[in-house]
Amino acid sequence: MTQISVLIVGIILIVLITWWFFGKHQVETKEAKMEQSKQIIDIKVDGGYSPEQVIVKKGIPTELRFTKLDNSSCLDHVVFPDFGINQALPQDQTTSIMLNTEESGEFEWSCGMNMFHGKLIVK
């Protein structure tokens, strides 16, 4: 009886571990909304980025509005290496970053220490 219990617990653990490593984890993704001649995305900065993946259209000026609610210094800069941007994000304020998205592709952004990440997808 004990052996069967151990076996069952073992199988459950294996299933859980497999799911954790190979299961499809959802990434919060949002598409830009159009406003006049530009596209805008609001991103909340609180223990990471929400959404952490944004999709914009190629060739339309893009405005990313970061609102920093997290009071750790970790997230007080946002860096877009591909665009040469390193922008300070003042606490409890919304900071706009304008991007020229003429090229399609995937562009990562991160906090100043490269700990939290997000991704901009231009198509």
Q: Tell me which residues touch Cu ion (CB under 5 A).
A: 74, 111, 113, 115
Cβ distance to Cu ion smaller for residue 72 or 100? 72
CB–CB of 43/33 below 8 Å?
no
Minimum separation from the CB atom of position 80 to Cu ion (A): 15
Cβ distance to Cu ion smaller for residue 18 or 72? 72
Kindly report the CA angle at 87 between 84 and 91, in degrees rounded to 5?
165
End-to-end CA distance of the chain: 58
Cβ distance to Cu ion smaller for residue 55 or 74? 74
The rounded distance, in Å, linking the Cα atoms of 111 and 15 is 34
Minimum separation from the CB atom of position 116 to Cu ion (A): 6
